Structure 1
Amino acid sequence: MRKPERLQKSLLHAYVWKRQTIEQLVEVTGKSHVWVKKQLDTAQSNERPLIPQTTPLSADVTFWGRGYGVIVFRSPTRKKNLWWKEIQFETPWIYKQGLDHLLKEGWNFTGVVIDGKRGIAQVFENAGIPVQYCQFHQIKTVTKYLTRKPKTEAGVELRSLTLTLTHTNEETFRLKLKAWYERHESFLQERSPAPHTKRGWEYTHKRVQSAYRSLTTNLCRLFTCQKYPELNLPNTTNCLDGMFSQIKNRLAVHRGLRRERRYKVICEILKGEEK
């Protein structure tokens, strides 16, 4: 490797992994801001190809504001990111693109953990891959509808039941959810006048209904990890949540990055630090 290339890689490593700002790199090198930025933009990092093998998979997206995000496929057992891409919107098609790419490379997936967005489970199930919905995302969804402090007895009970997801089993949870519904069925059917609607009424407790519907819809995929313990599937996408937090923390040091340099930093983090 030529000396200029070594210097560029050294600067990029300091910028990404040692959280050195442009100002600090200018001070260290004695060069101008323009020169330092050019070196960072020109620097080429070594590709670190992985040998395709059998592994469980976690797949999720993180966003920076509206219209810019990154989708990542990660092996929770190997602790390696297998595929990622910049995106504007989270759609089933982008998950299919990543899955097709990795299958073509020779990867074999025992199962996948996802966050439960509509249509994404079918992408993997159509390829014969079992799907586990992230239990923490399900808790988050129910909390979004009910808040952390529900104002109704039905809401309090439903959120308390949802919080048991990570330490119960499907049969117990299903029975308790059924019992909850039977206790509160008449409450859920209560209506309020709504002259602005065609039918002239609406359900009074729509948010409690939505929380319940989310649980019943997703229940068949919330305990896949228990049904098939041999798959070694996690019950959450925590391995990706931690990765996304690391990316955002490192990017926070370099505010105001233009898109190309920001994605370069993201890629370096997702590849992993060279030892």
Structure 2
Amino acid sequence: MSQKYNHSREWIQEKIHNYTFEIKSRKPREVSLVIDATFFGKRGDKFGLIAAKDVELKEIVAYNFIESETKEIYLDLITQIYAKGFQIKGVVLDGKPGIFSLFKETPIQMCHFHMKAIISRKLTKNPKLQPSIELKRIASHLGSISACRFEYMLSSWFKRHKEFLDEKITDESKRGWHYKHKRLRSAYRSLIHFLPYLFTYQKAPHLNLPTTTNLLDGGCFSPLKDLLKVHRGVSKKMKRKMIVYFLENR
């Protein structure tokens, strides 16, 4: 660029750093949102972003830079959204602990991708035990079957394997025992816990809620990370400016 514009490198850098652009105002309205957070670089860098994207217009309606992902971070974003005049009619979330309680009056869709990832973490990608194989297969049907069918499959699985789930091993703890298949029990409990939120997209089709957070993960966060990789040598201040420009022009 220095050769192209016949100016020094320092002059080019100064122009880039001093460049200003318009922060767009969004028209207040009722919105169905995908809300998620991500981090750039290593977690220890404490350089992250939380954003809310309108499902219908594919527009970023609010965002904040963050150092960690907490319940308070989500509350701050929600407060910002309402302060701008938006009304949240539905939301897609990834299941972070404590976040759902912030949307008590709002229909919530649990991200199917993250639900399947939770099950894979608990059962591994290639489980060996038959009950684990069956439960993972049931979870894999998310997005392709009805809520009624899924609940029936989950209930039938539990009835077939209840004795297996209740198997115990004696130990020297105060209780004197622990469950033999703790990870399998945990995977099942996760599905039961999120079950009320897995089929909101079917029960409230007028909200047009997607079944995953990919509208942000793939449609925003991934290209942002690619952009920052290309410019990995710039300062954090400049990275923030690049991110804001990117978000304001999506």
TM-score between the two structures when normalised by the length of structure 1: 0.84
Helix, strand or coil for the counterpart of 2:178? strand
Letter in 1 for 2:212: T
Helix, strand or coil for the counterpart of 2:51? strand
Alignment pair present for 1:77 and 2:56:
yes
Equivalent residue runs for 1:138-217 within 5 Å: 138-195=115-172, 197-217=173-193
Deviation at 1:26, TM superposition (A): 3.3
Q: C-alpha distance in 1, partners of 2:39/2:32?
A: 24
Q: C-alpha distance in 2, partners of 1:61/1:88?
A: 11
Deviation at 1:194, TM superposition (A): 4.4
Identity %: 36
Deviation at 1:60, TM superposition (A): 0.3
How big is the alpha-carbon RMSD for the aligned residues of Structure 1 and Structure 2?
1.7
Alignment pair present for 1:247 and 2:224:
yes
Q: Is the 8 A contact 2:94 2:114 kept in 1?
A: yes
Q: C-alpha distance in 1, partners of 2:228/2:129?
A: 41
Letter in 1 for 2:69: E
Alignment pair present for 1:221 and 2:200:
no
Q: C-alpha distance in 1, partners of 2:113/2:154?
A: 17
Alignment pair present for 1:117 and 2:93:
no
Higher mean alpha-carbon deviation, 198-207 vs 41-50, is at: 198-207
Deviation at 1:238, TM superposition (A): 1.4
Structure 1: state its 5+ residue gaps. 1-24
Q: Deviations over 1:131-152 (max 9, x none)?
A: 1111111111111111221121
Shift of the 164–35 alpha-carbon distance from structure 1 to 2, 3 Å rule, reads: same
Deviation at 1:87, TM superposition (A): 0.9
Shift of the 38–199 alpha-carbon distance from structure 1 to 2, 3 Å rule, reads: farther
Q: C-alpha distance in 1, partners of 2:224/2:240?
A: 10
Q: Deviations over 1:104-157 (max 9, x none)?
A: 2211222001111111111122xx221111111111111111122112111111
Deviation at 1:193, TM superposition (A): 4.7
Deviation at 1:71, TM superposition (A): 0.2
Deviation at 1:88, TM superposition (A): 1.5
Deviation at 1:176, TM superposition (A): 0.7
Letter in 1 for 2:158: Y
Letter in 2 for 1:188: L
Q: Deviations over 1:167-222 (max 9, x none)?
A: 11221111111111111112222233544x44343322222111111100000111
2:244 aligned partner: 267
The number of residue pairs the alignment matches comes to: 246
Structure 2: state its 5+ residue gaps. none
2:80 aligned partner: 101
Letter in 1 for 2:21: S
Deviation at 1:228, TM superposition (A): 1.1
Shift of the 193–32 alpha-carbon distance from structure 1 to 2, 3 Å rule, reads: farther
Letter in 2 for 1:272: N
Q: Is the 8 A contact 2:116 2:139 kept in 1?
A: yes
Q: C-alpha distance in 1, partners of 2:11/2:225?
A: 26
TM-score between the two structures when normalised by the length of structure 2: 0.92
Shift of the 257–208 alpha-carbon distance from structure 1 to 2, 3 Å rule, reads: farther
Q: C-alpha distance in 2, partners of 1:202/1:263?
A: 49
Deviation at 1:271, TM superposition (A): 1.1
Deviation at 1:32, TM superposition (A): 3.4
Q: C-alpha distance in 2, partners of 1:131/1:263?
A: 30
Higher mean alpha-carbon deviation, 99-108 vs 26-35, is at: 26-35
Shift of the 186–33 alpha-carbon distance from structure 1 to 2, 3 Å rule, reads: farther
Q: C-alpha distance in 1, partners of 2:57/2:246?
A: 16
Q: C-alpha distance in 2, partners of 1:28/1:46?
A: 27
Equivalent residue runs for 1:3-22 within 5 Å: none
